[in-house]
Every structure is written in C-alpha cells, then in structure tokens.
Amino acid sequence: MVGQVRRFNRTVTQRIGALSDAYLSRDRPLGQARLLWEIGPEGSDVRLLRSRLDLDSGYLSRLLRSLENDGLIVVEQSGTDGRVRTARLTARGLAERVVLDRRSDDLAASILGPLSPRQRARLVTSMAEVERLLVASEVQISACDPRHPDARFCLRAYFRELANRFDGGFDVTRSISADDEELTLPAGLVLVATLHGEPVGCGALKFHDNAPTEIKRMWVSPAVRGLGLGRRLLAALEARAAARGIPVVRLETNRALDEAVGLYRSAGYREVPAFNDEPYAHHWFEKTLDQEAASRAATEPEPPASAASPQPGPRIGDRPGG
C-alpha cells in the first residue's frame, strides 16, 4: 500500500509538479506567478496572502514590490485597520492572470489530449477520488478550548444549522446545557477538525461523575461532508473517552439530522430509551466502548499528559517583532 502511494507520488510530482511549475513560470518567476494567482481578481489582504502561501513577511513584501513595479498590482491601505494593506490587480495584472489561467488549462489539456475518451473519463473520475481522499487525509483533529475562535466558529455554525434544520428552529437556552465550562477539562473537552488551518468540524465530550459521558456538538462543515470526517471525529471522541477509562458514552439527536442518525447506528451505537429530557431530541443512543479497539482505531491518539497536543493556531500573524 505504501509502495503504491510512493509510486503515485513519484509519477505525479514528475508529471504534474514539474510541468505545472514550468507552465506557470514561463515569463515570470514561480513565486511571483503563485502570488499573482493567489491575489485573485478581488484583491487580497497582505496578511492573508502571507498565511495562505506561508511566506516570510520580508520576502512577501519584496515580491509585492516587484509585481507593483511591473504595474501588475497596486498595494493600498485596507479598510478599517490602518496597519493592514491590500493588494489588488491592475488591468495588466488581470490580463497576466488570465494567461496563467490559460496555461493551467493547457496543462490539463495536454494530459487529457493523448488519451481516448474512455481513458479520459476514467482518469477524471479517479482524480476526483484521489483528490477527495487527499483532502480528507489533510484534515487534522485536535483538542481545542471552546473559547478559541476555531471552536467558536464551529459551534456558531452548528447552532445555525440546527436552527435551519429543526422543525420550529433551535434555541440553545432551551436545550440541555453544554457551556464553555462544561466543555473544558476536567469537566469535558472539545475536538476541532481543521483543514489548512480553517475549522471544518467539531465534537465534544461532557463527562459525568456517576453517569455515562455525553457526546455533544457533533458538526461537520458542509464543505467537507462525504469525506468520512464525522466518523473520524466520533472515533476520536470515543478514543479520548476510552483513554480515560470511560466504559460507556451516550448521546441524543434530532430526527432531522438523518445522516448523523445513520452514522451513529453504523458506528455501533444502539438506540436506547430517553435518558434525559432534551426537548430537541428524538433519538437516544448509547455505545459501550471497547477500550482496546478504541485505542487501536484512534487515528488521533490521546496525547500523554506532558506533551501538549497541537492546538489550532492563529490563522494569520507575523512572528512577534520589535
């Protein structure tokens, strides 16, 4: 299996990697071309560019200067915050970007060109599958304080979605509580899934002294559904619970969340009578954790207490400077 992945890496970096660099950097250095592309037709804050391309601030500044000198972009003050600057394409910059666009198309066409129609269809299908799964493998799950912006983002999106999908909407205050305190160790915890630093999903545990641990706040961003992330989050939560020696977890959910209900069933949860009076719930589930299996299956193992697990970091920001 590893062998096939390695062969793939080799073939693809040679064929795609080298070629796409060559295509893009025809009349300007690759770094500039990438930057020009990333700025996009709408323009982009410099700080965003720095984080998205992961560039040194000095280096980026110089790149911007050279594009500016070539008359491809203008860099100007951004709206409210006087420190932030925005890069925007000029007409010439837009034209250059169109050229890059054409080249990307050409590169793609040069790959499809020699193939028969049937081969093309198969290639495109397989590419979509590989891409999907590569993206899935890039999602990272880590523990996160519920007050962290990433967690906040997910929870807000979660409540918004419940409000949209439940008959008669959703009001957090009427639901059984799971506030920041209750989702912070030692009372509980939140896991956040991030993709390229952006939060794309969450799940939480709420521990009880004399009752099974509750699973709360399971949410996956619509942008990444179908990647198996829900299952992964659930497994990660179970692993965290199992690592604490917790034998049983349970949860309740609403019938409107049919994909969640399906997930719980297929993940080995069995429906049980209502164990609480959550007004928004129609189904109550429970699962007995197999300590061994949970830790084996965990792709995000419980870190040892000493080693801090990687926290979702700030998505933008230069290094601290004088």
Provide the mask over 39-58, with x wherever binding to DNA is found by CB under 7 A and - wherever it is not: ------xxx--x----xxxx
The answer to whether 242 and 294 are in contact (CB under 8 A) is: yes
Query: Cα separations (Å) of 100 from 16, 111, 227?
Result: 15, 17, 30
**Nearest partner of 220 among 207, 229, 208, judged by Cα:** 229
Provide the mask over 112-131, with x wherever binding to DNA is found by CB under 7 A and - wherever it is not: --------------------
The correct pick among 98, 127, 185, 274 for binding its own copies (CB under 8 A) is 127
292 contributes a contact to its own copies by CB under 8 A? no
Binds 258: which of DNA, its own copies, none (CB < 5-8 Å by kind): none
Helices 57-69 and 46-53 meet at what angle, rounded to 10? 120
Rounded CA separation 277/269 (Å): 19
* DSSP-derived 3-state class of residue 44: strand
176 contributes a contact to DNA by CB under 7 A? no
* DSSP-derived 3-state class of residue 209: coil
The residue (of 61 and 291) whose beta carbon lies closer to DNA is: 61
Q: Find the part of the chain contacting DNA (CB under 7 A) among 8-16, 82-90, 188-196, 301-309.
A: 82-90
In the complex, minimum distance from the CB of residue 110 to its own copies, in angstroms, rounded to a whole number: 8
Rounded CA separation 201/222 (Å): 9
Residue with tokens 């896991």: 191
Question: Which pair of tokens denotes residue 210?
Answer: 């004399």
Residue with tokens 């962290």: 148
Binds 130: which of its own copies, DNA, none (CB < 5-8 Å by kind): its own copies
Binds 240: which of its own copies, DNA, none (CB < 5-8 Å by kind): none
286 contributes a contact to DNA by CB under 7 A? no
Provide the binding-site residues for DNA, judged by CB under 7 A: 25, 28-32, 45-47, 50, 55-62, 64-65, 75, 78, 80-85, 316-318, 320-322
